[in-house]
Amino acid sequence: MIQESSSVIETYEQMKKSLAAVVPEAELKIKSEIVFEINLLKKERGAIILGHNYMEPALFHTIPDVVGDSLMLARHAAETDFDPIIFCGVRFMAETAKILNPTKTVLLPAREAGCSLAASITAEDVRGLKEIFPGVPVVTYINTYAEVKAECDLCCTSGNAARVLSSLNSKRVIFIPDEYLTQNVAA
């Protein structure tokens, strides 16, 4: 994280000191302007920026107030008093943050911030599965969109999936959408 800067030049110098080994100098010069402006706006608007581990290095190490994986960031979003919450991640992460902190404004800076796993199943798909298998509990992995979570009985993480499924005491469970997580939990 860079310290609060009073100018683009100061921001650039801080970024160069910490990121020169991983980010080309030309990019640092361009990104320092963006970083300086974002940090000014963040302070002015009373926002918090949550940064997912998959962000590009020049921004990951300069603008977020909190960095981590999607679940950790969602938990932080649930507890913050800052408003707005800017979630630098994918859409399902921002949706989860909004679910956990419904009174706050949650913004997603990228227009197209998708996830192929989350996009692999829809709420309509879940309703179809429930029609085919009535009464069978449906559990979804947290990395799904809010519309899918709303149709399911439970939501889990990769870390608690086995415990969640075991707690159901059901011979059959529909577990979506991650094939490999499903296979590992079943084993």
Q: Which pLDDT tens digit goes with each residue over 5-28? A: 789 999 999 999 989 999 999 999
Give the pLDDT of residue 3.
Answer: 67
Instruction: Write down how long the chain is.
Output: 187
Placement of tokens 């829809």 in the chain: 122
Read out DSSP for the chain? -PPP-SSHHHHHHHHHHHHTTTS-HHHHHHHHHHHHHHHHHHHHHT-EEEEETTS-HHHHTTS-SEEE-HHHHHHHHHH---SSEEEES-HHHHHHHHHHSTTS-EE-S-SS---HHHHT--HHHHHHHHHHSTT--EEEESSS-HHHHHHSSEEE-TTTHHHHHHHT--S--EEES-HHHHHHHH-
Is the model's pLDDT at 2 over the cut of 70?
A: no
Angle between helices 8-19 and 25-45 (to 10 degrees): 120
Report the percent of the chain where pLDDT is more than 70: 98
117-186 shares the fold of 8-112: yes
Q: Report which of 92, 65, 89, 90 is spatially closest to residue 79, judged by C-alpha positions.
A: 65
Read out DSSP for 27-40? HHHHHHHHHHHHHH
Judge contact between 18 and 28, C-beta under 8 A: no
Q: Which pLDDT tens digit goes with each residue over 94-137? A: 999 999 999 999 999 988 888 888 999 999 999 999 999 999 99
**Domain coordinates of the chain in residue numbers?**
8-112, 117-186
- Structure token pair of residue 42: 């963040």
Give the pLDDT of residue 123.
Answer: 97
Q: What span, in angstroms and rounded, lies between the C-alpha atoms of 15 and 25?
A: 10
Going by pLDDT thresholds of 50, 70 and 90, the confidence category of residue 1 is low
Q: pTM, whole model, 2 decimals? A: 0.83
Q: Which pLDDT tens digit goes with each residue over 61-101? A: 999 999 998 888 988 999 999 999 999 999 999 999 999 99
CATH topology for 117-186 is Rossmann fold (3.40.50)
Q: Which CATH architecture has domain 8-112?
A: 3-Layer(aba) Sandwich (3.40)
Give the pLDDT of residue 108.
Answer: 94
Q: What span, in angstroms and rounded, lies between the C-alpha atoms of 80 and 57?
A: 24
